[in-house]
C-alpha cells in the first residue's frame, strides 16, 4: 500500500534550498541589469512646482530620468482601483509617478535609471524638486474633522461609508435591543498601525526581447498572473507577449497582493524603452514609506446583554484609516465589520464604518486583514461583560457560542467575497474545552495567588476568532506525468515561503499513488499556468490544493483507462501503488505509470528505448480506431479548477499567561497556547509553522509594533531599529492542539491556515495584562512605558 | 540605501593609518567593526570623503588585563573582550555589560573602542568607561594623548576625538578590593539599545560597610550620567544601606527625554528602579568577593 502522505508531517522540501542560500530571490537575478531608484516625496502633502534634474545629469553612468510628464498612454493614468464597491463612493488611487500633488511621504515623484544602484541613488540625491507645502491630514480624529482635505474632491475625507444591520428576534434593531437589555456597556477602543514588513521587500526585474517583441518580468509578488495582465494593459502589449514569474519570495503577508505597484509597470516600461534589462530592488526605508500599512482603527462599541452575559444587541462604529489611497478598495474594514462576530451569535447587530483618507501610506490587507481589529473589539467586549457580571470570561464566551448542531450558520451579513457570511462547520465548545485544558484555565486562580504571595503579578487571557478562508473566485492545477515517471504539478498562485512545494506534492503523491520524490511543484510562473488569482486570504491550500487534487483525479482516471487496456483488466479493479498500476491484490500484474505515460502519447519517432513502445509498429493496435481516440488528448496530463460557492470558515482560540514587573512594568509572556481548527490537516508541521509565524506577528502587534507619524506626516520610525518587529527572543514557545472539523464545501475537507496565528493575539494579551494588573486595556499595542502611565492614572 | 561615493584606504601600519587620517582631516572616518558606520553610510546620514579601514593594522587587537585594569585595543571585538577570562577576572563589569550589547553577530564584529568613539549615550560601554573613570588613548601623527572619560564624552554621538586622530585603545581601571559591580537595563527587545540602564560599582570597607557607591546611567542624558551615591547610601552595612535614597538621588540627577519608545517620566522612574537593583547586586558581589 502506498504511504498516505496527506495528513503527515512531511518535512518541508524547499527548506534545504532556502536555508543554505540557494534560494533565487528577486535581487539574485539580473546581475548585469540597469538599476532603477526613485526620488520620493519628503512631504506628506504638497504641490509639485518644478523638477530640476540638471545637477544629476553629470552623474557618470546615468541612463534616464523620468517624471509623470514622460509617461505615455495608460501609464499616465491613475493606478487601478482593484476592488470596486458601491459603498466606496470616493475611491482614489495614485499615479505611477506623482502628478501635481503628493499625498504621503514616500510617494514616488521621479524615476532614475543608471548603471548601478549606487549611481542611481547619487543621481536621485542631486535632483531638486520644488514643493508648495499643503496642510497634511494626520490621524483619524484630525481627518474626520474634515477641516483639511487629502483629496480636494473628497468632502470630509470620507472615502467609503457602509452600514450592515442584522435584526434580532421579531425584527428588533440593534439599537432597540441594546436599549431593552438588562445591562449595557459603552466604550471606545484603539488599534495602532502596523505593517507586513516582509524581510524581502518588493522588487521587479524586466527583460525586453526586442526581436520577439516580448517581455519577461520577475516580480516579488503574490500574484504573477494579475501583474501580467496589468503590465500588458498598461504597456499596450498582447497578453501572450508578456510573461511574469514570481521567483522565491521572502515573505508577502499581504503587501505583495497589491498590484500593479508603480514599479511593476515603470520598470518593464523602461526596459522596453531602453532595450536594456532594468531592475529595482526596494530598500527598507522605501518599504516603510511607500508600501502599505494596516490595522489603524478607532471603534465605538455599545452592547446590551442579559444576566448570563448573552449579547442581545451590539452596535459598533468603526473609523478606519485607509491612508492616502484605496487601491484595494474597502476589503479591510469589510472584514473587520463582518468577522468581528467570531464564533458568537448576537441578538441584533449593527455595524457602521467610515473609511477615512489621511496623508499617510495607503492601507491594504496585512495578514489577518482587518480581523485582529474585529476580534480585539469582540473579545474586549466579552471580557468587559464578564467583568461587569463578575463571571468567568470563558463562561461568557460559551454562553454566546454558535453550537455544533447549528451549522451551516448564517450570520446575515455580506462577506468580503460578496457572498453571504455563512459558516460551513465548526465546534467551538470543544475548542474552548481543549484550550482550557491546555493552558490550565481552571487552576490558574491558585497559580495567580501563589505568584502574588511571592510579589509577582501574573494574569491569564483568552481570545476566540473565526476566519473566512479560501475565498474565490477560483484556482487551477495542472498535472503531467512524463515518460520518466515524474509528476509535474503547476498552479498559478504564488509562494512566499508557505511550503507549497511540500503540501501540493503531498496532495499529488497521495492522489496518484506515487512517491513524493517523483513530484515537483511550480507556482507563480505564467509560462506554466496562466490562470490564477493569487496567494492571500489563507486560500492557497484550499483553492490550489483542491484544484490540484481534482486535476490528479483526471490524470489517474486516464492512467487507469490506458493501463486497463494494457493489462486486459477492468479499470475499476486497478490501483496505483508506488508509481505502478496493478490489479488490486495482484501486484505482479502491473505496469509503471512511466510506461502508461509513454503509451498515452502515440509516437512516430522513437527517441529512446521507452519511447519505442509507443511507436506505430511497436505492438498490436486496432486498425479501425485513430491512434488518439475521439475525446482524448495525447499525453498523461490533466487540468482542473476549483471554484467554491463561498468561503470556508476556520476557527481558533488562544490563551496566554503573562507576567508584569511591578516596578519596571515590563510585560513577559510566560505561556502561549493555541487550539486551532483548519479542517483536515494536509501537513500538521506546516500548519504549526504557520501558527508560530502568525503568533509572532501577533505579539508584534500586541506589544511592540506601531507606525509613529508626527503632525507633519513624517513617519518617525521607518527602520527596524525603531519599528520594533519582535525578535525570536520576544516570541514565546507556542503550545498547540489541533481540532479537525472538515469543511463540507471542498473535496479535501480543508480550510485555510495562513493568517490564523496572528488574529486574536492582541485581544489575548490585552485580556491577560488586564487580568494581571486590574487595569482596563482599551488600546494596543501596550509598551512598558504605556503600562507605567496606566498604573499612575489608576 | 547605498552609500554616497568615498575613497577607501586600507593602511597596513599604524603610521600609514595616521598619515592618511592626517591628510583626510575632517573628511576622514575610521572603519573598524562598522556596526554603526555602515548603516549611517547606507542611509546617507554620513558622507565622509575618506574611509580609513584599520582592520589590517597589526597590533591593535590586544586585550591586556592586569592588576591596574584592562587595556583594550582598537580592533578588539566585543565578543573577544566578553570571552576573555583575564578581562573578566580583572573587571567582571566588562562581561556584565558586554552581554547586554546588541546581539552576538554584532558583538562578533563590533569593537569596544569603536563603541566608545561612537559615543552613543544609550550604549553600555561608554557608561562602563565613565563609571570606572577610564580613559581613551588617541594617536595622531603628532603623538599620543590619553583623555579621561569625563572629558572624552562631550555630547550625544560626540567625543573629544579630533580630526586626524585614531583611538588606539581604551583603559578600564580595576576597582579596589571588596568591590562589586552590576549592570541592569531594560530594552524594548532583547539586545536593543536600553530604554534605561544603570551600571553600579560598590566598594565596602574593612567592616563591610559601604565605602563608595557610584552609578552610571544610560539613555537619560546627552552623555553617560555618573552619580556618586556614597553619601545617600550612608556608611552602613550593605544589607541595610538605603538604596532607595540612592535611587532618589539618581532620579534627581538624570535628564531623560521622551521619545517614541518611552516617556521621560517613565525613563526617570525606570532609572531609579534599575539603580536599586544594580546597587544591591553590586554590593552583594562586593560581599561575595570578600567571602
pLDDT digits (tens, 9 = 90+) for A280-294: 999 999 999 999 999
Tens digits of residue pLDDT in B21-52: 999 999 999 999 999 999 999 999 999 999 99
Instruction: Report the alpha-carbon distance of residue B127 to residue B100 in Å, rounded.
Output: 12
Asked if B104 reaches chain A (Cβ–Cβ under 8 Å), the answer is no
Q: Taking each helix axis from N to C terminus, what angle separates A546-567 and A500-512, rounded to the nearest 10 degrees?
A: 30
Are the C-beta atoms of residues A251 and A496 closer than 8 Å to each other? yes
Question: Going by C-beta distance under 8 Å and a sequence separation of 6 or more, which residues neighbour residue B291?
Answer: none
Asked if B270 reaches chain A (Cβ–Cβ under 8 Å), the answer is yes
Mean pLDDT of chain A: 96
- Residue whose C-alpha cell reads 562589586 in the numeric block: B180
Mean per-residue pLDDT, A348-373: 97
Q: Could you tell me how many CB contacts below 8 A there are between chain A and chain B?
A: 65
Tens digits of residue pLDDT in A176-199: 999 999 999 999 999 999 999 999
Mean per-residue pLDDT, B107-115: 98
pLDDT of residue A689: 96
CB atoms within 10 A of CB A69: 9
Domains in chain A (CATH in brackets) are 32-134+202-281 (3.90.1170.50), 389-470+646-792 (3.30.365.10), 473-642 (3.30.365.10)
Tens digits of residue pLDDT in A71-117: 999 999 999 999 999 999 999 999 999 999 999 999 999 999 999 99
Beta bridge partner(s), residue A480 = A488, A637
- Residue whose C-alpha cell reads 521607518 in the numeric block: A718
Mean per-residue pLDDT, A533-560: 96
CB atoms within 10 A of CB B289: 14
Interface with chain B: mutation pick from A290, A664, A700, highest number of B CBs within 10 Å: A664
pLDDT of A2 over the 50 cut: no
Whether the link from the prior residue into A435 is cis, omega within 30° of 0, is no
Contacts of B266 in chain A (CB under 8 A): 665, 784-785, 788-789
Instruction: Report the alpha-carbon distance of residue A303 to residue A384 in Å, rounded.
Output: 10
**CA distance to partner chain A, nearest, from residue B188 (Å):** 8
The rounded percent of chain A whose pLDDT value lies above 90 is 93
Are the C-beta atoms of residues A138 and A44 closer than 8 Å to each other? yes
> Taking CB atoms and an 8 Å limit, are B261 and A285 in contact across chains?
no
Predicted confidence band at A1 (pLDDT cuts at 50, 70, 90)? very low
> Taking CB atoms and an 8 Å limit, are A784 and B262 in contact across chains?
yes
For Cα atoms A652, A658, A659, give the angle at the middle one, nearest 5 degrees.
180
Tens digits of residue pLDDT in A580-590: 999 988 878 89
Nearest by CB to residue A121, choosing from B2, B260, B262, is B2
ipTM of predicted assembly, 2 dp: 0.95
pLDDT of B291 over the 60 cut: no
Mean per-residue pLDDT, A439-461: 98
Mean per-residue pLDDT, B216-229: 97
DSSP secondary structure code for residue A679 in this structure:
B
Q: From the centroid of its chain, how far is CA A68?
A: 31
pLDDT of A605 over the 90 cut: no
Contacts of A38 in chain B (CB under 8 A): none
Instruction: Report the alpha-carbon distance of residue B245 to residue A269 in Å, rounded.
Output: 69
- Please report, to the nearest 10 degrees, the dihedral formed by the alpha carbons of residues A108, A110, A115, A117 taken in order: -30
A706: closest chain B residue by CA: B260
Tens digits of residue pLDDT in A246-257: 999 999 999 999
Domain map (residue ranges) of chain B: 7-53, 63-173, 179-290
Instruction: Report the alpha-carbon distance of residue B234 to residue B211 in Å, rounded.
Output: 9
pLDDT of B212 over the 60 cut: yes
Asked if B56 reaches chain A (Cβ–Cβ under 8 Å), the answer is no
Predicted confidence band at B239 (pLDDT cuts at 50, 70, 90)? confident
Are the C-beta atoms of residues B132 and B11 closer than 8 Å to each other? no
B270: closest chain A residue by CA: A664
For residue A465, what are the CA distances in angstroms to A341, A374, A422? 8, 9, 15
Nearest by CB to residue A788, choosing from B191, B261, B266, is B266
Mean per-residue pLDDT, A660-680: 98
Mean per-residue pLDDT, A434-445: 98
Are the C-beta atoms of residues A132 and A286 closer than 8 Å to each other? no
Q: From the centroid of its chain, how far is CA B80?
A: 15
Interface with chain A: mutation pick from B258, B266, B271, B280, highest number of A CBs within 10 Å: B266
**CA distance to partner chain A, nearest, from residue B193 (Å):** 9
Beta bridge partner(s), residue B172 = B70
A137, containing H or E segment? none
Are the C-beta atoms of residues A220 and A200 closer than 8 Å to each other? yes
- Most distant CA atoms of chain B, gap in Å: 62
Tens digits of residue pLDDT in B181-210: 999 999 999 999 999 999 999 999 999 999
* Fold designation for B7-53: 3.30.43
A293: nearest Cα among A361, A354, A191: A361
Q: Which CATH class is domain B63-173?
A: alpha beta
A653: nearest Cα among A678, A673, A669: A673
Pick from A465-469, A480-484, A563-567, B249-253: least confident: A563-567
- Residue whose C-alpha cell reads 544601606 in the numeric block: B241
> Taking CB atoms and an 8 Å limit, are A730 and B190 in contact across chains?
yes
Predicted confidence band at A386 (pLDDT cuts at 50, 70, 90)? very high
> Taking CB atoms and an 8 Å limit, are A284 and B188 in contact across chains?
no
Predicted confidence band at B289 (pLDDT cuts at 50, 70, 90)? low
Mean per-residue pLDDT, A287-313: 97
Question: Going by C-beta distance under 8 Å and a sequence separation of 6 or more, which residues neighbour residue A39?
Answer: A108, A109, A110, A112, A124, A127, A129
Mean pLDDT of chain B: 96
**CA distance to partner chain A, nearest, from residue B286 (Å):** 25
Predicted confidence band at A621 (pLDDT cuts at 50, 70, 90)? low
Contacts of A719 in chain B (CB under 8 A): 43
> Taking CB atoms and an 8 Å limit, are B190 and A729 in contact across chains?
yes
A356: nearest Cα among A302, A295, A413, A297: A297
Q: What is the CATH number of domain B179-290?
A: 3.30.390.50
Question: Going by C-beta distance under 8 Å and a sequence separation of 6 or more, which residues neighbour residue A781?
Answer: A192, A700, A701, A702, A703, A704, A705, A706, A762
Instruction: Report the alpha-carbon distance of residue B158 to residue A65 in Å, rounded.
Output: 39
Are the C-beta atoms of residues A379 and A432 closer than 8 Å to each other? no
B259: closest chain A residue by CA: A716
Question: Going by C-beta distance under 8 Å and a sequence separation of 6 or more, which residues neighbour residue B288?
Answer: B180
pLDDT of residue A344: 98
pLDDT top residue among A615 and B266: B266
Tens digits of residue pLDDT in A693-724: 999 999 999 999 999 999 999 999 999 999 99
A758, containing H or E segment? none
In 3-state terms, what secondary structure has residue A440? coil
pLDDT top residue among B263 and B289: B263
Pick from A7-21, A140-154, B228-242, B270-284: least confident: B228-242
Nearest by CB to residue A717, choosing from B1, B44, B260, is B260
Query: The C-alpha cell of A55 is what?
Result: 545637477
A191: nearest Cα among A724, A695, A701: A701
Amino acid at each position: 500500500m502506498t504511504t498516505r502522505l496527506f495528513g503527515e508531517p512531511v518535512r518541508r522540501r524547499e527548506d534545504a534550498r532556502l536555508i543554505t542560500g540557494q534560494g533565487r530571490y528577486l535581487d539574485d537575478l539580473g546581475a548585469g541589469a540597469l538599476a532603477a531608484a526613485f526620488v520620493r516625496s519628503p512631504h506628506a502633502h504638497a504641490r509639485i512646482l518644478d523638477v530640476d534634474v540638471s545637477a544629476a545629469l553629470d552623474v557618470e553612468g546615468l541612463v534616464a530620468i523620468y517624471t509623470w510628464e514622460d509617461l505615455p498612454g495608460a501609464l499616465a493614468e491613475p493606478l487601478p482601483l482593484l476592488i470596486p464597491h458601491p459603498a466606496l463612493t470616493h475611491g482614489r488611487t495614485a499615479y505611477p509617478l506623482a502628478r501635481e500633488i503628493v499625498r504621503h511621504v514616500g510617494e514616488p515623484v521621479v524615476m532614475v535609471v543608471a548603471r548601478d544602484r549606487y549611481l542611481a541613488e547619487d543621481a536621485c540625491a542631486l535632483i531638486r524638486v520644488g514643493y508648495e507645502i499643503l496642510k497634511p491630514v494626520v490621524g483619524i480624529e484630525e481627518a474626520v474633522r474634515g477641516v483639511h482635505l487629502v483629496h480636494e474632491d473628497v468632502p470630509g475625507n470620507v472615502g467609503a461609508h457602509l452600514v450592515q444591520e442584522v435584526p434580532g428576534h421579531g425584527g428588533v434593531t440593534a439599537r432597540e435591543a441594546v436599549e431593552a437589555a438588562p445591562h449595557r456597556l459603552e466604550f471606545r477602543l484603539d488599534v495602532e498601525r502596523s505593517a507586513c514588513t516582509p524581510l524581502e521587500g518588493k522588487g521587479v526585474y524586466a527583460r525586453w526581447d526586442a526581436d520577439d517583441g516580448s517581455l519577461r518580468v520577475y516580480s516579488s509578488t503574490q500574484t504573477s498572473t494579475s501583474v501580467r495582465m496589468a503590465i500588458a494593459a498598461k504597456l499596450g502589449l498582447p497578453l501572450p507577449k508578456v510573461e511574469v514569474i514570481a521567483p522565491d519570495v521572502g515573505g508577502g503577508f499581504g503587501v505583495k497582493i497589491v498590484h500593479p505597484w508603480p514599479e511593476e509597470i515603470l520598470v518593464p516600461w523602461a526596459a522596453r524603452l531602453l532595450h536594456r534589462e532594468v531592475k529595482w530592488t526596494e530598500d527598507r526605508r522605501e518599504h516603510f514609506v511607500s508600501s502599505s500599512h494596516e490595522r489603524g482603527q478607532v471603534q465605538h462599541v455599545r452592547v446590551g446583554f442579559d444576566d448570563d452575559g448573552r449579547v442581545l444587541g451590539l452596535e459598533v462604529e468603526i473609523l478606519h484609516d485607509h491612508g492616502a489611497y484605496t487601491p484595494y478598495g474597502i476589503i479591510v474594514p469589510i472584514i473587520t465589520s463582518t468577522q468581528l462576530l467570531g464564533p458568537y451569535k448576537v441578538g441584533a447587530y449593527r455595524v457602521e464604518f467610515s473609511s477615512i483618507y489621511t496623508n499617510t501610506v495607503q492601507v491594504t490587507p496585512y495578514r489577518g486583514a482587518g480581523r485582529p481589529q474585529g476580534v480585539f473589539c469582540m473579545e474586549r467586549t466579552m471580557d468587559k461583560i464578564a467583568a461587569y457580571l463578575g463571571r468567568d470570561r470563558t463562561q461568557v464566551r460559551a454562553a454566546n457560542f454558535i453550537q455544533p448542531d447549528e451549522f451551516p450558520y448564517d450570520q446575515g451579513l455580506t462577506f468580503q467575497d460578496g457572498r453571504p457570511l455563512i459558516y460551513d462547520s465548526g465546534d467551538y465548545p470543544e475548542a474552548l474545552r481543549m484550550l482550557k485544558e491546555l493552558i490550565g484555565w481552571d487552576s490558574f486562580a491558585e497559580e495567580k495567588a501563589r505568584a502574588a504571595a511571592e510579589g509577582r503579578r501574573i494574569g491569564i487571557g483568552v481570545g476566540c476568532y473565526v476566519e473566512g478562508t479560501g475565498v474565490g473566485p477560483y484556482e487551477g492545477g495542472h498535472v503531467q506525468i512524463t515518460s520518466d515517471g515524474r509528476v509535474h504539478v503547476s498552479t498559478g498562485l504564488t509562494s512566499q515561503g508557505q511550503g507549497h512545494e511540500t503540501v501540493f506534492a503531498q496532495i499529488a503523491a497521495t492522489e496518484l499513488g506515487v512517491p513524493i520524490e517523483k513530484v515537483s511543484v511550480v507556482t507563480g510562473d505564467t509560462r506554466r499556468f496562466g490562470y490564477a488569482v493569487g496567494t492571500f486570504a489563507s486560500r492557497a491550500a484550499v483553492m490550489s490544493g483542491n484544484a490540484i487534487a481534482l486535476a490528479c483525479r483526471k490524470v489517474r482516471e486516464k492512467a487507469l483507462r490506458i493501463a486497463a487496456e494494457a493489462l486486459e483488466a477492468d479499470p475499476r479493479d486497478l490501483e496505483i501503488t508506488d508509481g505502478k498500476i496493478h490489479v488490486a491484490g495482484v501486484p505482479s500484474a502491473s505496469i509503471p505509470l512511466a510506461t502508461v505515460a509513454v503509451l498515452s502519447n502515440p509516437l512516430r519517432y522513437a527517441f529512446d528505448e521507452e519511447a519505442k513502445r509507443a511507436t506505430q509498429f511497436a505492438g498490436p493496435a486496432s486498425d479501425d480506431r485513430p491512434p488518439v481516440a475521439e475525446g482524448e488528448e495525447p499525453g498523461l496530463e490533466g487540468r482542473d479548477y476549483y471554484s467554491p460557492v463561498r468561503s470556508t470558515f476556520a476557527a481558533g482560540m488562544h490563551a496566554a499567561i503573562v507576567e508584569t514587573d511591578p516596578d519596571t512594568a515590563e510585560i513577559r509572556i510566560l505561556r502561549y497556547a493555541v487550539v486551532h481548527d483548519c479542517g483536515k490537516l494536509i501537513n500538521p508541521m506546516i500548519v504549526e509553522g504557520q501558527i508560530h509565524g502568525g503568533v509572532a506577528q501577533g505579539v508584534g502587534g500586541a506589544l511592540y509594533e506601531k507606525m509613529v507619524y508626527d503632525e507633519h506626516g513624517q513617519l518617525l520610525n521607518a527602520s527596524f531599529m525603531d519599528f520594533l518587529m519582535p525578535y525570536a527572543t520576544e516570541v514565546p514557545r507556542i503550545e498547540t492542539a489541533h481540532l479537525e472539523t472538515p469543511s463540507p464545501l471542498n473535496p479535501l475537507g480543508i480550510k485555510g491556515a495562513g493568517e490564523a496565528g496572528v488574529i486574536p493575539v492582541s485581544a489575548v494579551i490585552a485580556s491577560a495584562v488586564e487580568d494581571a494588573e486590574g487595569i482596563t486595556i482599551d488600546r494596543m499595542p501596550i509598551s512598558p512605558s504605556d503600562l507605567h502611565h496606566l498604573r499612575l492614572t489608576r | 540605501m547605498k552609500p554616497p561615493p568615498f575613497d577607501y584606504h586600507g593602511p597596513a601600519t599604524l603610521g600609514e593609518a595616521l598619515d592618511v587620517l592626517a591628510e583626510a582631516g575632517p573628511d576622514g572616518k575610521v572603519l573598524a567593526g562598522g556596526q554603526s558606520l555602515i548603516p549611517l553610510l547606507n542611509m546617507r546620514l554620513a558622507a565622509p570623503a575618506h574611509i580609513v579601514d584599520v582592520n589590517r593594522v597589526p597590533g591593535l587587537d590586544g586585550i591586556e588585563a592586569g592588576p591596574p585594569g584592562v587595556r583594550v585595543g582598537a580592533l578588539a571585538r566585543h565578543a573577544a573582550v566578553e570571552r576573555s577570562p583575564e578581562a573578566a577576572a580583572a573587571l567582571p563589569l566588562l562581561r556584565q555589560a558586554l552581554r547586554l550589547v546588541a546581539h552576538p553577530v554584532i558583538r562578533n564584529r563590533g569593537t569596544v573602542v569603536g563603541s566608545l568613539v561612537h559615543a552613543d549615550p544609550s550604549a553600555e560601554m561608554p557608561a562602563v568607561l565613565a563609571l570606572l573613570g577610564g580613559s581613551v588613548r588617541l594617536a595622531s601623527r603628532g603623538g599620543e594623548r590619553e583623555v579621561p572619560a569625563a572629558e572624552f564624552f562631550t555630547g550625544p554621538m560626540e567625543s573629544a576625538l579630533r580630526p586626524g586622530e585614531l583611538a588606539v585603545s581604551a583603559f578600564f581601571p580595576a576597582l579596589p578590593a571588596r568591590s562589586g559591580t552590576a549592570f541592569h537595563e531594560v530594552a524594548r527587545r532583547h539586545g536593543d539599545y536600553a530604554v534605561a540602564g544603570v551600571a553600579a560599582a560598590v566598594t565596602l570597607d574593612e567592616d563591610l560597610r559601604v565605602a563608595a557607591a557610584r552609578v552610571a546611567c544610560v539613555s537619560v542624558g546627552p552623555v553617560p550620567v555618573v552619580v556618586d551615591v556614597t553619601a545617600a547610601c550612608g556608611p552602613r552595612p550593605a544589607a541595610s544601606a538605603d538604596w532607595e535614597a540612592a535611587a532618589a538621588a539618581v532620579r534627581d540627577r538624570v535628564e531623560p527625554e521622551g521619545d517614541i519608545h518611552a516617556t521621560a517620566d517613565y525613563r526617570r522612574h525606570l532609572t531609579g528602579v534599575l539603580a536599586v537593583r544594580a546597587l544591591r547586586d553590586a554590593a552583594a558581589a562586593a560581599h561575595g568577593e570578600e567571602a
